[in-house]
């Protein structure tokens, strides 16, 4: 299935919002990336250089399998589960925030949406109990579970579906836990979703 819209949720884990000095939002904070940002979760990953820190944000990703209609549940519309990285040009983002400009330049550059293969969606109840993590050069730098999401999957589906629309091929990056950080040329990243490893990704800056 071709991927269509790429939605991302900002500040969906309280400890991550805190680590960047942001308030916890009162309703979901949604942004999107161009499909040109997609890159598989293995192989060489070229990231932009000369624009300051580029941070990893490991996130669970869900795929929509049918057209959303108001009131539908996650179990009715979600058909796939993956893990990915919402790459963020953090210094660029800081300037954009100060200027109150859109985040596209900091979040939507080429290769900024790393995505593993999809597996069948296990259901909203099982999704809630998943664990995921990110290793950088073999050391765990992030770990999380949807248990700690501020806006649970059900709320994300209804909010995004009612506000922007959701249909087959759309995907949602559901937010990152604490521990985001920068990378350097040659770093090797591995994503882990419920014990299954994806990668390695070799960073080229
Ligand atoms: Mg993110």
Average pLDDT over residues 149-162: 97
Q: How much is the pLDDT for 20?
A: 86
Ligand 1 geometric centre to CA of 177 (Å): 9
Average pLDDT over residues 3-24: 91
Q: How much is the pLDDT for 22?
A: 85
Q: How much is the pLDDT for 5?
A: 98
Q: pLDDT averaged over the chain? A: 96
Q: What would the pLDDT profile of 27-79 be if each residue is shown by its tens digit?
A: 999 999 999 999 999 999 999 999 999 999 999 999 999 999 999 999 999 99
Ligand 1 geometric centre to CA of 89 (Å): 11
Ligand 1 geometric centre to CA of 67 (Å): 24
Average pLDDT over residues 80-102: 95
Q: How much is the pLDDT for 93?
A: 94
Q: What would the pLDDT profile of 104-126 be if each residue is shown by its tens digit?
A: 999 999 999 999 999 999 999 99
Ligand 1 geometric centre to CA of 50 (Å): 21
Of 16-25, 84-93, 163-172, least confident by mean pLDDT is 16-25
pLDDT band, very low/low/confident/very high, at 17 (cuts 50, 70, 90): confident
Distances (CA, A) of 133 to 22, 44, 82, 141, 192: 22, 20, 12, 8, 5
Ligand 1 geometric centre to CA of 65 (Å): 22
β-strand partners of 82: 61
57: left (phi over 0), alpha (psi -120 to 50) or beta: beta
Nearest to 146 by CA among 68, 78, 47: 78
Is the per-residue pLDDT at 24 higher than 90? no
Ligand 1 geometric centre to CA of 73 (Å): 23
Ligand 1 geometric centre to CA of 179 (Å): 12
Ligand 1 geometric centre to CA of 57 (Å): 5
User: pTM here?
Assistant: 0.96
Ligand 1 geometric centre to CA of 147 (Å): 17
How far is 64 from 56, CA to CA, in rounded Å? 24
Ligand 1 geometric centre to CA of 10 (Å): 5
Average pLDDT over residues 135-142: 98
* Angle made by CA atoms 48, 54, 57, in degrees to the nearest 5: 125
Q: Using H for helix, E for strand and C for coil, what is the string for 42-92?
A: CEEEECCCCCCCEEECEEEEEEECCCCCCCCCHHHHEEEEEEEEECEEHHH
Q: How much is the pLDDT for 91?
A: 94
């Amino acid at each position: 299935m071709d991927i269509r819209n790429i939605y991302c949720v900002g500040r969906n884990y309280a400890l991550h919002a805190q680590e960047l000095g942001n308030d916890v939002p009162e309703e979901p904070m949604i942004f999107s990336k161009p499909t040109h940002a997609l890159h598989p979760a293995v192989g060489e990953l070229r990231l932009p250089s000369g624009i300051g820190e580029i941070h990893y944000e490991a996130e669970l990703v869900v795929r929509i399998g049918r057209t959303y209609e108001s009131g539908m549940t996650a179990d009715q519309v979600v058909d796939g589960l993956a893990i990915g990285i919402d790459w963020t040009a953090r210094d660029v983002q800081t300037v954009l925030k100060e200027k109150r400009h859109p985040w596209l330049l900091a979040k939507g550059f080429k290769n900024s949406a790393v995505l593993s293969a999809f597996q069948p969606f296990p259901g909203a109840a099982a999704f809630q109990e998943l664990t995921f993590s990110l290793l950088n050069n073999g050391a765990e730098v992030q770990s999380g579970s949807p248990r700690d999401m501020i806006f649970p999957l059900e709320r994300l589906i209804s909010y995004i579906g009612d506000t922007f629309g959701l249909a087959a091929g759309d995907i949602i990056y559901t937010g990152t836990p604490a521990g985001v950080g920068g990378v350097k040329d040659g770093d090797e990243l591995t994503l882990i979703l419920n014990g299954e490893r994806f990668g390695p990704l070799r960073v080229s800056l």
